[in-house]
């Protein structure tokens, strides 16, 4: 019997995919332009590093054994562990980010649903909570990846210090949008370098990579429909996690969209981030299937990239909710801005660590926000949305001036 949470997330996914279909059909050739358009590569780098966190680096090696265990996890038996991992992270679920990026770029300026005071407060509570959840995941998985500190299982004081410093770095980075951009592009190159390094270290070769990618493609796309609704409670957790991220990532990245047509924006978000994900998981799967040890240098490299991903995710979201609430460095002063954000996020991180807060609750709230937004448009803004035929004029004018001078 499906639980209430399963019903909520299943409804939310079906609703989101229906809205994606509607937007693509209605605004197929509309040119989406954000308030701060950037080149395509920079946009993808910001999207990729803001929309993913440390779980991308830390989860797979711990999850492959579970997905490969038919006796204790029979629900995964319809495909291979590599396809399961990719299905939890790639392709289809990036359509959520397309929906929210398109909405905030094109629709929200006419609707202004997220400027309603209650919605604005609720949305920023979601953002702050999800920031803290990201930091708590990093804290929980540190013992597994740095077994040299402690006993490899217990969270010791050193790990709390590391997480505190990461939050501090993210808060500082968020004080200037140029730091966010630089860190996004830098993190992308660092991630690519990690993939190449681990691929070469394992002696995987081109043949090994091609074999794993083929196994991933056939195992995932041949069973795509099975990833739409929760496979089990763990998949449900992942789907709520993605939903919790979806609105705030769309709200942040929409400002950087640089003139992509709707159809191209969808394809870019589905395909481009999925390529490095597929390659990364294929490399890690080679380590798993061949029993290659990652302790020592490899773990250190993964931790470094994981830390940059955490900082990159957190600084984007800190910047977003502080702008939304007008709690900016200019208003508070840089020192008080950093102190306030670090205090709030570190405190909430400890609450998530204690299981007092759950990401499923936040994801369920986001599903509710989706429903409320659709209802608001249908009841009060239907004609305004129906008449949309371009991005906001002020965005397109600025975009034209940028192109003319570049």
pLDDT tens figures, 55-80: 788 789 889 999 998 788 889 999 99
pLDDT at 2: 60
| Residue 215 burial class via C-beta count within 10 angstroms: exposed 0-12, middle 13-18, buried 19 and up | middle
- In the predicted structure, residue 406 carries a pLDDT above the cut 50: no
pLDDT at 399: 52
- In the predicted structure, residue 188 carries a pLDDT above the cut 90: no
- Residue 78 has which token pair? 């319809």
Average confidence (pLDDT) over 303-308: 86
Please give the Cα distance from 211 to 239 (Å, whole number). 28
Q: How far is CA 140 from CA 40, 170, 248, 352, in A?
A: 35, 19, 24, 10
Q: How far is CA 381 from CA 17, 31, 108, 201, in A?
A: 21, 21, 11, 56
Backbone angles phi, psi at 122, to 5 degrees: -60, -45
What is the average pLDDT value for the chain, to the nearest integer? 88
- In the predicted structure, residue 288 carries a pLDDT above the cut 60: yes
Question: Sorting pLDDT into bands at 50, 70 and 90, what band is 88?
Answer: very high
Query: Which helix (DSSP H) or strand (DSSP E) does residue 167 occupy?
Result: helix 157-173
Region of 259 on the Ramachandran plot (φ > 0 left; ψ -120 to 50 alpha; else beta): left
pLDDT per residue over 189-227, tens digit each?
888 999 999 999 999 999 999 999 999 999 999 999 999
- 258 - beta bridge partners? 33
Of 50, 170, 166, 149, the residue nearest 101 (C-alpha): 50
């Amino acid at each position: 019997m499906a639980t209430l949470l399963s019903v909520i997330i299943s409804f939310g996914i079906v609703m989101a995919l229906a809205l994606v279909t509607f937007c693509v059909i209605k605004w197929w050739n509309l040119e989406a332009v954000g308030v701060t358009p950037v080149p395509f590569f920079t946009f993808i780098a910001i999207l990729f590093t803001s929309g993913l966190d440390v779980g991308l680096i830390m989860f797979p090696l711990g999850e492959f054994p579970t997905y490969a265990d038919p006796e204790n996890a029979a629900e995964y038996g319809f495909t291979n562990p590599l396809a399961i991992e990719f299905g939890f992270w790639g392709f289809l679920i990036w359509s959520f980010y397309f929906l929210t990026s398109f909405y905030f770029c094109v629709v929200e300026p006419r609707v202004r649903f997220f400027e309603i005071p209650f919605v604005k407060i609720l949305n920023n509570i979601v953002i702050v909570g999800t920031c803290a959840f990201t930091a708590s995941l990093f804290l929980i998985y540190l013992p597994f990846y740095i077994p040299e500190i402690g006993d490899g299982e217990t969270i010791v004081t050193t790990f709390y210090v590391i997480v505190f410093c990461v939050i501090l770095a993210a808060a500082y980075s968020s004080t200037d949008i140029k730091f966010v951009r630089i860190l996004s592009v830098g993190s992308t190159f660092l991630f690519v370098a990690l993939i190449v390094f681990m691929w070469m270290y394992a002696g995987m070769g081109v043949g090994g990579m091609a074999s794993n990618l083929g196994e991933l493609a056939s195992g995932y796309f041949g069973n795509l429909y099975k990833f739409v609704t929760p496979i089990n409670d763990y998949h449900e957790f992942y789907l709520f996690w993605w939903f919790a991220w979806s609105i705030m990532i769309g709200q942040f990245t929409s400002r950087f969209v640089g003139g992509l047509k709707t159809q191209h924006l969808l394809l870019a978000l589905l395909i481009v981030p999925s390529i490095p994900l597929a390659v990364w998981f294929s490399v890690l799967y080679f380590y798993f299937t061949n029993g290659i040890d990652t302790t020592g240098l490899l773990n250190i490299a993964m931790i470094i990239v994981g830390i940059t991903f955490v900082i990159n995710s957190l600084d984007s979201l800190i910047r977003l909710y502080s702008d939304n609430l007008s709690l900016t460095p200019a208003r508070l002063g840089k020192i008080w801005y950093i102190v306030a954000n670090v205090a709030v996020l570190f405190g909430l991180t400890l609450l998530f660590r204690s299981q007092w807060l759950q990401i499923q609750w936040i994801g369920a709230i986001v599903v509710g926000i989706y429903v409320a937004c659709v209802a608001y448009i249908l009841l009060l803004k239907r004609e305004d949305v129906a008449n949309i035929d371009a991005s906001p004029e002020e965005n397109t004018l600025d975009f034209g001036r940028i192109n003319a001078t570049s």
